[in-house]
Chain A
Amino acid sequence: MSNNVPTQNQVKVKKQLRTKNNIFYFIKRDIALYLMFFIPLCFLLVFYYAPMYGLIIAFKDYDVTRAFSESAWIGLDAFKEVFHSSDFYLVLRNTIVLNFLDLIVGFPTPIILAILLNEVRCKWFKKISQTIMYLPHFLSWIIIAGISYQLLSPSTGLMNILIRHLGGQSVPFLTEKWHWLATYNVIGVWQTAGWGTIIYLAAITGINSELYEAAGIDGAGRLKKIWHISLPGIRSTIIVMLIITLGRILGIGLERPYAIGNPIVREFSDVISTYVYRVGIQSLRFNIGTAVGLFQSIVGLILVLITDSIAKKFGEDGIL
C-alpha cells in the first residue's frame, strides 16, 4: 500500500468534516447572533407574516363560529362583489383625489419654504422659525381635529367670528363637502409643510457654495440664483420625493380622514381605510374587508416597484 492513496476511512472522515463545515459549523460559530435574531423574528412571524397568510380570508366565506380551515372557498366572489359595488369606487375615488390634492398643494410647499428659509441670514430667526414650524408634525390627528373643530366651527369658531366681523357670512369649513375638501387639504399642509423642509434644506446646504459665488460675480441677483442654482441643485431630491409620494397614491392612513371627517361629508371623506374599517370590522364582512385590503396592498406594492425603477432610471438610488 503506497502512502499517497487515502484509505476508505480517511476519505469518509474528510468528507464528513467538509459537510460539517458547511452548516453546523457556521450555526455553532454564530449561535449567539442567530439566537439574538430569533426573538424579533418571532414577532415578525406572528404579527406580520401570520396576517399575510390570513389574506386567504379574501377567498373564503369566513364564519367566525367555524374553524378557519372549514370555511367554504368562494374564490374571487368577494372581489367580484367589491368591484361591482359603487361604494368601493366612491372610496377609491376619494382616496386618489385626496392624495392628489395633497400632492398638488402639499408637495411644493415644503420646497418653497425650504428655499425661503435658506435665504434667511439671521440665525436666531431661522432657528425659532424652524422650531415652531416643526411643531404641527408632532401633534396627533385627534389633537389637530380638536383644534380644527374649535377654530373652524360655524358658530363659535375663531375664523368665522373674524369673517363675520369683516362683514362676511359663516363659512362651513368642515360641514359642507366642498369646503371640507379644501379644509382637509390645508390642515394636511399645515401638519407636514414645516417638517418637510428638513430634507430639502439638507439638500440645499449640500449645494456647492462656489456656484453661488460664481453666479454672483456674473451679476445674478438673489432670485436668479434661486432659480438657476438652488432649484436645480435639489432636483434629484425633489424627484425622489415626488416618486415616493406618487407610489403611495393608493395608500391612505385612517387617522386623518377619520379624525377630521364627519358623517355630513361622508361622500368625500370616506376613503379605502375607513371603508375597510366600516365594512370589515363594524359590519363584520371579513372577506370583503380583506379583499379590499389585499387589493390595496398589491397595488401599493406594484406602484412602489414601478416608481422605484423609474427613480433608478433617473439616476437616483431609489428606495429599494
Chain B
Amino acid sequence: MILGKNDKIFDILIYTIIAIVVFLCIMPFIHILALSFSSSGAVIAQKVTLFPVGFNFEAYVRVFTDQTMIHSLILTIGITIAFTILGMFLIICAAYPLTKKRLKGRKIMSMLCIFTLYFSGGLIPNYLLISKLNMMNTLWSLILPLAFSAFNMIILKNFFVAIPESLEESAHLDGCSDVGILLKIVLPLSTPALATLALFYAVGRWNTFQDALFYITKPTLYPLQLKLNMIVSASASSESFGESGNGAQLVPEVLKSASVIFATVPILIIYPFLQKYFVSGVMVGAVKG
C-alpha cells in the first residue's frame, strides 16, 4: 500500500488523538500517585502536578501502620476469596447439568436462572431478607446473596456446550459417571473460561460496595471500599485513621491519596491477568450472547 501525503497526515492525527485520550485516562491516577508521595508543604504550596515534590513515604507509613486499614484489607481479601470460590462452585453445579439435553425439566431449570437477570425483588425486600436471616453486620451478607450469578453461569454453560460431545460419549462408554466426566474432562478443558469467570467474580466483589453500605454498619467490619469511602469523604482524614504514634502532621490530600492508591494496588497487581482474560471473556460473552 502506497502511503500518500494525506495518509500520513491522517495517521498523525489519529495517533495524536489516541495519545491524548490515553493521557486523559491515566493522568488523574498519576496525579494521585504523585500526591501520595509528596511532602505536605509541597501540596499546600500547590506545586504537585504529575511528579512527587519532596518525595517521602510518610503517608504510606501511616496507612500501613493503621490497624483498621490492614484489618479492612484482610477482611476484604478473605471475603473476595470466599465469594469467588463459592460462586465458581455454584455456577459449575448449575451450568453442567443444563448442558445435558437429555435432562428432563432442563428448560424450566434454565428459565429459573435466566429470569433473575431481568427481574428482581429490589432493594428493600433483599434488605429485609438479610435482616430476617440475621445476617446483618456479618460477613455472610457479602458472600452468600450474590454468589450465584446467572450471567456468569450462562457464559460458563455456553463454554461447556462447545466441548465436543464425542469426548463425553467415549468417557460414558468407558463407564465414567456424569460427575466423573465433569471432573476429568469438562473442567480441565475449561480452564480459560474458569479463570475468566473467577476474575469476574473477584474483581466484582472487590469493587462493589453497595451491599456493604446497606448491611454493614459496624466500622470494624467495613470492607476496604467502605473504609476508603469514610476516608475520602471525611474532611479531616486524620480522624478516620487509628493512632499510629507518629506525631507528624499530614495534609489530608496526601493521606487520602495514599489510601486510594492502597486500595487500588491489588487490582493493579493482577491487572495483566485481568486484561488477558477479561477481554477474551467479553468476546465470548458477546459472541454467544
Contact = CB atoms under 8 A, between A and B. Distances in A.
A76 interface: no
Contacts of B104: 26-27, 30
A101 interface: no
A120 B118 contact: no
B103 A30 contact: yes
Contacts of A281: 123-124, 127, 214
Interface stretch (A10-18, A79-87, A228-236, A252-260): A252-260
A36 B96 contact: yes
A36 B179 contact: yes
Interface stretch (A1-9, A42-50, A92-100, A177-185): A42-50
A168 interface: no
A48 B116 contact: yes
15 contacts: A33-B103, A43-B90, A47-B129, A47-B144, A51-B121, A55-B125, A119-B11, A133-B22, A146-B256, A149-B232, A258-B210, A276-B124, A293-B123, A294-B122, A297-B120
Contact of B24 (A48, A147, A190, A294): A190
Interface string A111-143: 001001101111001001101111110111111
B contact residues, range: 35 or more
Nearest to B131: A64
Interface string A187-217: 0001001100011001000000000000010
Contact of A255 (B125, B127, B144, B209): B209
A53 B10 CA distance: 59
A39 B179 CA distance: 15
Given A52-B120, A140-B263, A290-B124, 7 more contacts: A33-B100, A40-B93, A132-B22, A138-B274, A258-B210, A292-B122, A298-B119
Given A39-B93, A135-B25, A202-B283, A120 B179 contact: no
Given A135-B26, A142-B228, A48 B120 contact: yes
Contact of A143 (B118, B178, B263): B263
Contact of A286 (B98, B124, B145, B206): B124
Nearest to A133: B25
Interface in B11-41: 11, 14-15, 17-19, 21-22, 24-26, 28-29, 31-32, 35
Chain A binding surface, main DSSP class:
helix
Contacts of B218: none
Interface string A278-308: 0011000010011011101110110010000
Contact of A304 (B7, B102, B118, B213): B118
Chain B binding surface, main DSSP class:
helix
A37 B106 CA distance: 10
B124 A147 contact: no
Nearest to A253: B210
Nearest to A281: B127
A176 interface: no
A255 B26 CA distance: 22
A151 interface: yes
A259 B233 CA distance: 9
A156 B32 CA distance: 13
A51 B203 contact: no
A136 B24 CA distance: 11
